[in-house]
Amino acid sequence: MSTPIHCLNYIDGQWQPAQSGETLEDLNPADRREVVATFPRSGAADVEAAVTAARKAYRGWRLVSAPARAEIVFRIGEILRGRKEALAQLMSREMGKTIVEARGDVQEAIDCAFYYAGEGRRLFGQTTPSEMDNKFAMSVRSPVGVCSLITPWNFPVAIPCWKALPALVCGNTVILKPAEDTPACATALIDVFREAGLPAGVANLVHGTGEETGRALVAHPGVDLVSFTGSSVVGAEVASVCGRTHKRVCLEMGGKNAQIVMEDADLELALKGALWGAFGTTGQRCTATSRLILHRDIKQVFTEKLIEQARQLRLGPGIDPNTEVGPLINESQLSRVHEYIEIARQEGLKILLGGEPVRSEELVHGHFFEPTILDEVPPASRLAREEVFGPVVVLMTVDSFEQAVELLNDTPYGLSSSVYTRDVNRAFRAIRDIEAGITYINGPTTGAEVHLPFGGVKQTGNGHREAGAAVLDVFSEWKTVYVDFSGQLQRAQIDNRS
């Protein structure tokens, strides 16, 4: 066991404790006896200081040219690349994901940095013809202001970068409030930002709980935009506070993602997709596969093989290179997953595999839960509708492609989706008819790439997209500019055309 990392807030270019002096502890999910880090229990006073710093820094940062801002973002990418292994090791220990997944998380952040560094030399606006003579019209992007970025623990380096890097390139200043379960990853990331040369106050870090720090960052009148990734319940609250205080808000929330497997699919491929979509990252991705919609003709053979392969998954600490499935993030998440299995039992659902926390001597001190497969789950079941965020997948049987798509859409969420078929007509119908922000054909529901839009419909989001060029519309305001070079007053909306 190593000594705990003492994380601090980073406000106006200074590392500092919470003004209250209080700290909180962050435990190793693979062994809760180990304190990985301590972090400041920040409150309204710390948020006040961060907002003041970010507002002050905004005055200068918005005037720095976008290519110059992007150059710092490029340097962030370079430093992250140099520190990839160290960050991945830290993440694996702090968050529990396997080391290969942790490397993938950091790589996603690196890709993000290089992508948005390129955006700094584009940030395209538009020129549009004016309806008048001798008049020029265009629309240009301008920054929004101070952005509160509230991020989850499941992608502790990638998601803060998804939000912060495009925000910075667009000329905003940011305050990052990372999840309480991953303060050390956030601290290491902000240290990279600092080293890359961001001026003081441009990127600030305020640790703490959602109740105290998060709430204050959403409600503060000095904040112009809130970007939040987390549960739909908290997201709805964030949205209502932002509505009342007139802030721009971008929400990325839950999913109940389904994979359809048709009778004509490449079954081995579909099987691998299901296995890793459902149990990769211990099911703790908002894109995780939590429903498998199987055509009746292949249901039995597919299910038998899935059980067989899921049974063989090696559970353990993420840091162990032999581990395939790590622990759940914390005790409350472990209880939550366990409660859902209790609900399944009460509903009379059949558990084909798993269903219990792991109680072996080596893993009993961690938050490990057995990969779990539930059979013939009716669409109205809570297990078919609610996001569990753990290694739990439900099976459903269908007789036709149309029925499969209908069932896939029968959910309050709409983030990711997947269809395995060799029929190109079905594939294109799926692309047209599935109600989700992301659809994979012959690939699992996870694995979105950072240069494409990411987000969902229905209760998953609020109409915005992250990642890709789409997120630039979140982090910038359109300004419409008219230049009249006629030397005369040209009055618009005076209709003298007969």
| Cβ–Cβ < 8 Å for 281, 288 | yes
**Does the protein bind ligand UN1 through residue 175 (CB under 6 A)?**
no
Q: Of 252, 324, 370, 387, which one is the catalytic site residue?
A: 252
Please list every residue from 287 through 316 that binds ligand UN1, using CB under 6 A: 287
Nearest to 203 by CA among 332, 11, 479, 354: 11
Contact predicate 293/398, CB 8 Å: yes
Among 13, 118, 125, 447, binds ligand UN1 (CB under 6 A): 447
- Looking at beta carbons only, is 323 or 418 nearer to ligand UN1? 418
Q: How far is the CB of 23 from ligand UN1 (least distance, A)?
A: 27
Instruction: Tell me the residue number closest to ligand UN1, measured at CB.
Output: 448
Q: Find the shortest distance in angstroms from Cβ 471 to ligand UN1.
A: 14
Q: Cβ 447 to ligand UN1, closest distance in Å?
A: 5
Site for ligand UN1 in 16-35 (CB under 6 A): none
Does position 448 bind ligand UN1 by CB under 6 A? Answer: yes
Q: What is the pattern of x (binds ligand UN1, CB under 6 A) and - over residues 139-158?
A: ---------------xx---
Contacting range for ligand UN1; rule: CB under 6 A; set: 261-269, 399-407, 443-451, 489-497: 443-451
Q: Which is nearer to ligand UN1, 143 or 390 (CB)?
A: 390
Work out how close the CB of 402 gets to ligand UN1 at its nearest, in angstroms, rounded to a whole number. 27
Q: CB of residue 487 vs ligand UN1: minimum separation in angstroms?
A: 54
As a dihedral over the C-alpha atoms of residue 209, residue 215, residue 217, residue 223, rounded to 10 degrees, the angle is: 170
Q: Which tokens in the block code for residue 211? A: 């109740």
Quote the CA–CA distance of 438 and 426 in Å, as a whole number.
Answer: 16
Q: Write each residue from 105 to 124 as x if it is in contact with ligand UN1 (CB under 6 A), else as -, in one continuous string.
A: ---x----------------
CA distance 339 to 359: 17
Q: Is 268 a catalytic residue?
A: no
Distance from C-alpha of 390 to C-alpha of 339, rounded to nearest angstrom: 12
Residue 228 touching ligand UN1 (CB under 6 A): no
Size of the site for ligand UN1 (CB under 6 A): 10
Which residues belong to the active site?
Answer: 252
Binding site for ligand UN1 (CB under 6 A): 108, 154-155, 229, 285-287, 446-448
